[in-house]
Amino acid sequence: MLTGKTVFISGGTGHLGSEICRACFEYGGRVIFSYHRNQEAAKKLMAEIPGSRAVPIDLLNVEGIRTTIERLYDEVGAIHALVNNAAISQIMPLPLVEEEDVDLIMDINIKGTFFITKHVLKGMIRNKAGTIVNVGSIAGARMLDVPVTYAMTKAAINGFTFALAGEMKRFGIRVNSVVPGLLDGGVGQGVPEELRKDFVAHCAAGRAGNAREVAELACFLASDRASYINGQNIAVDGGI
């Protein structure tokens, strides 16, 4: 499905990101992923995925994003698919949120995603090929008891996906997003038990999802098999 393609995954050392990396490799892709501080996790993942490569990226450093992506293109020639997975969450009620909290989550989840995409897209446009898969969240699409700052950034990813797909269509570059519901592990670990039970009670699947189920869709959307899917925010939430 991804044989011969180089796939760049941001936030590759996280719970979902690492599973996307594994799935991309299993489907034949050459995996390059970014990490921030967790160098040990990056080394462990590289050892697990033959031929993979980890690059440090601080999403708060826009110039660093540019130089890292440009250096990657110099070395690999083409990035065929980008998976925008890197993001953070803040578990605090709105009355306690300060300006610096809002700035941080906006800068990482939106601004960082924007500039990684911008610089990867330059090469895709030059090569006249590419796919982008953004990772959203049901938090940005439903009325749920979730941190407001996280929800608003994930809602922004939905709009980013629609608008970017429209702009990139003339270059033959597809843009879609996967929209996970509650997952076991990762961000889902911070969900209180009562909210977890409420989600499961209203979920047609009757359970939380897992990272592999999201990774499968991300790989499919990144591949040529999804050539007629564009500008879509596709839920992987078990039916809410």
Q: Mean of the per-residue pLDDT values for the chain?
A: 95
Q: Please report the pLDDT score of residue 36 as a whole number.
A: 95
As a whole-number percent, the residues of the chain with pLDDT over 90 amount to 85
pLDDT above 80 (res 187): no
pLDDT above 70 (res 22): yes
108 close to 58: Cβ distance less than 8 angstroms: no
Q: How far apart are CA 164 and CA 176, in angstroms?
A: 9
* CATH classification for the domain delimited by 6-236, as one of 3.90.700.10, 3.30.70.640, 3.40.462.20, 3.40.50.720: 3.40.50.720
Specify the higher pLDDT residue, 185 or 183: 183
pLDDT above 90 (res 90): no
Specify the higher pLDDT residue, 139 or 178: 178
Name the residues annotated as catalytic: 150
Split at pLDDT 50, 70, 90, the class of 193 is: confident
Domain boundaries, the chain: 6-236
* pLDDT tens-place string over residues 143-162: 887 889 999 999 999 999 99
**pTM across the whole model:** 0.95
Query: Which residues touch 163 (CB under 8 Å, ≥6 apart)?
Result: none
pLDDT above 90 (res 32): yes
Distances (CA, A) of 223 to 7, 52, 176, 190: 10, 18, 12, 32
